[in-house]
Each structure stands twice: as C-alpha cells, then as structure tokens.
Chain A
Amino acid sequence: MSENTFMGVPRDKIDWAPTIDYTKCDYCMECDKFCPHQVFEVRENEEKKLIVKNPNNCVVFCRACSKTCGPDALSFPNKPETTKQIKEIRKELEGNG
C-alpha cells in the first residue's frame, strides 16, 4: 500500500509515474520485479504484457525502476515541473484551509 499524501498533498493530484515506451520494452519484467509498490501489472495474455496499473503508488521523484530497464523504455515527468505543481497545490490548500 502506498501513502495517500506526499508532502501534504493528496497523492492523486501529483502527476508522477513511469511511462512505458512500448516500441522499446521487451517485457523482461525487471522493473516489475524491482518495484515494491505494485505500480506495474503483468498481463501475460494481452498484447501489452505490462501496464502501469497504479500510477499513484509510484513514489514521487523515484526513478529507480528505469535504472533496471535494459532497453531504456521507462520515462518520467520533469522534476522541476512536478515540484512546482506540488508547491502550487499546497498554496491552494492553505488558501482553503
């Protein structure tokens, strides 16, 4: 189970998760084996054998699984933009608080 807030912001408001480039992925499943947060899901009988099932389980700013990916098929949002996004949401929340 993952946290439902990150830095005081509801996790589902923060855009941070891996994106799989299916033209590169060779379904070695190293990323899924590595990540302890059940972000990925393996679907043996489908064309896309791996999907990002629970993007909100992904730890914000973590990019660890991409370093296990041989074909370099995983990408992430831009960090400074995500930081900016978090700050803005916090401001909004304060305003309403």
Chain B
Amino acid sequence: MDKKFAVLPCNGLDKAAGSLTREIAMRLVEETGSEIICPVFYRVVDARYNKLAEENPLLVIDGCGTRCASKLAGEKGLKIAGKININEEAKKNNVEIGASLRLGENELHLCDLVLKDILKEEEKEIKGEENVAGAVPENLEYEKFTKDKFIFRIPKEGFYYNENDCWAYVVGNKARIGVTDFVQKSLSDIMFFTPPAMGSEIEQFGEAGSIESGKAVFEIISPVSGMITAINEELLDFPEYINDNPYEKGWIAELKLTDFESDKELLIGFDEYFEIVKRKVDEFHV
C-alpha cells in the first residue's frame, strides 16, 4: 500500500504551520517514496517538476489560509488529488500550534496524526447511496444573460435558490443541491472539491462542503436542512464539471430533507434570483 505522491508543501518559513508542511512532506518522502516539489524553485523553473506532477497524484499542503501552495498549483494548472491545511488539521485535532518557529512536541504530534490520516485515506472509499433525486431533468431550460465575455445560465423551472448563490432541486423528501453559474464564474477554474461528510446533518444555510479555485475558497451554503445521503463523487476527480455545468453534472450533494416546508420560507424562485444575480454581476467584476 505504498502511495507515492508528488507533494507540494507551502514550506512557509515564518510560521510553524509552514514548517510543518515541510516536515510532513519529508516524512512522506521517507515513508512512501513520494517526491517533493519545492515551491520556491517551481516558481522559477516550471519544467523541473512538470513530469513529476503529471505522473503522480498531487498532494498540496498549505500551512494556513493564505493557501500559497494551492495558489501555486492553480497558477501552474495542476490537478490536485489531495489537500491538507495545517491550521485546519490543528483545529480538527485540538492541537495548539505554538508561536515558536521551531517544531516542538505538539507540532510533531500533529505531524504524526496528519500522516496517519493521509496513509489510511485511500482505504476509506466513500460509499454512495443510490441517487434518489436523479430526477433533475436532463435538458434543462435556461434563461441566460451575458456580461462581457461571460454567459450566465439560470434554470427557469423547478429550482429553489438562496441569496448565497446555491440551489436546491426537491423531489419528494429529498433534494439535490449545488451552486449557480455566478459562483463558478466568480471562482473561475475550480481545482478542488471538499465534499460534505456522508450521513452528516446539515442545518439550513449550514456548510455543505466547499469548492476551491486558485482565486478563492467558496463554502457551499445549503439551501435546505437535512442529512447528506449522496455526494457527487465524480467531482472528486473532475471538479471542473462544476465549471461545465453546475446544475447538471456539476451538482454537489443530495440530502434527505428534515423540514422543507419551513426551509422554503427563506428560499426564492427563479424570478427573484434572476434579478438578484443580474444585479450582482453588474456590481462586481467577475
């Protein structure tokens, strides 16, 4: 089970979290035969790592929310297979990262935990339930508008929206959710999808995973409350489907609804959303 990665750590030197990315990268080299992409060198000479990045799954390790390594991968157009953010791992594992730049006991402990996670990750396959809300029609009818070179599509019928640019398509007691064209156009090339956990209970407007481009991270704000019963596993390999069509093959997840009657009060239909999104596009450059 030796999984070889091309590892791209941010290697930030001015924070312990940055140094931790380097420590983890080195451990992966030792334990799995992975190879490191040096972010400093990569900036200067791309050709050096192109082959390595193409032939191996790319694991990006960021120290903090500035996401230097992710942004670098985005600039170079690399496909990200896995991703770690040290600050988030620290929170998740309840480990406090100290102010010193050197790695102490806590930091090394976190390093062990993260490594264990990476190495067991490939074993746990996400088990999908049958897609019950597969009833989203295949040839959706869209209303479109353009701004500069961008075309925005909004499905005309059957979709509920929230004002945070996410949609829900409801069939019986299940719903499929996703983001609208406004989100995918503002992010531009989507490089990474973090799905919500299967079986997790999500409140209305709670976070249902996130998507990420070189530009930013977008938290998917679930229009409905319920339990996650399916995620779009294809997006794990092809997050760019969200750019192709966020309503059809770029859907995010499905939920079993808890209280749609009450959720509905805070959702809007096509007419209202179309006006809102047009205004947003006019106000901000995408």
Is A79 a contact of B206 with CB atoms below 8 Å? yes
Is A34 a contact of B205 with CB atoms below 8 Å? no
A72 and B65 alpha carbons, distance in the complex (Å): 7
A66 and B265 alpha carbons, distance in the complex (Å): 28
Q: Which of B13-40 contact A (CB under 8 A)?
A: 15
Is B164 a contact of A62 with CB atoms below 8 Å? yes
Q: CB < 8 Å: which of A30, A59, A62, A82 contacts B66? A: A30
Is B64 a contact of A7 with CB atoms below 8 Å? no
Instruction: Provide the residues of chain A in CB contact with B233, threshold 8 Å.
Output: none
Q: CB < 8 Å: which of A62, A66, A83, A90 contacts B65? A: A66
Of all chain A residues, the one with the shortest Cβ separation from B212 is: A67
Which applies to chain B's interface (DSSP): helix, strand, loop or mixed? loop
Is A72 a contact of B163 with CB atoms below 8 Å? no
A67 to chain B, nearest CB (A): 4
Q: Which of A52-97 contact B (CB under 8 A)?
A: 59-64, 66-72, 79-80, 82-83, 86-87, 90
Is A6 in contact with chain B by the CB < 8 A criterion?
A: yes
A69 and B284 alpha carbons, distance in the complex (Å): 22
Which among B43-51, B133-141, B214-222, B246-254 touches the partner chain? B214-222
A-B contact count (CB 8 A): 60
A63 and B206 alpha carbons, distance in the complex (Å): 11
Of all chain B residues, the one with the shortest Cβ separation from A91 is: B265
A70 and B70 alpha carbons, distance in the complex (Å): 13
Is A7 a contact of B219 with CB atoms below 8 Å? no
Is B232 in contact with chain A by the CB < 8 A criterion?
A: no
A84 and B218 alpha carbons, distance in the complex (Å): 23
Is B218 a contact of A64 with CB atoms below 8 Å? yes
Q: CB < 8 Å: which of A28, A30, A64, A83 contacts B203? A: A83
Is B87 in contact with chain A by the CB < 8 A criterion?
A: yes
Is A69 a contact of B219 with CB atoms below 8 Å? no
Is A87 a contact of B64 with CB atoms below 8 Å? no
A68 and B68 alpha carbons, distance in the complex (Å): 10
Is B265 a contact of A80 with CB atoms below 8 Å? no
Q: CB < 8 Å: which of B64, B206, B217, B262 contacts A64? A: B217
A34 and B71 alpha carbons, distance in the complex (Å): 14
Q: CB < 8 Å: which of B65, B164, B217, B262 contacts A61? A: B164
Instruction: Provide the residues of chain A in CB contact with B65, threshold 8 Å.
Output: 30, 66-70, 72
Is B66 a contact of A34 with CB atoms below 8 Å? no
Is B283 in contact with chain A by the CB < 8 A criterion?
A: yes
Is A36 in contact with chain B by the CB < 8 A criterion?
A: yes
Is A67 a contact of B205 with CB atoms below 8 Å? no
Is A87 a contact of B266 with CB atoms below 8 Å? yes
Q: Which of A32-60 contact B (CB under 8 A)?
A: 34, 36, 59-60
Is A60 a contact of B203 with CB atoms below 8 Å? no
> 29 A-B contacts, Cβ less than 8 Å apart?
A6-B163, A7-B163, A7-B266, A30-B66, A36-B284, A61-B205, A61-B221, A62-B164, A63-B219, A64-B216, A64-B218, A67-B219, A68-B66, A68-B216, A68-B217, A69-B65, A70-B15, A70-B64, A70-B66, A71-B64, A72-B65, A72-B87, A79-B203, A80-B206, A82-B205, A83-B204, A83-B205, A83-B266, A90-B266
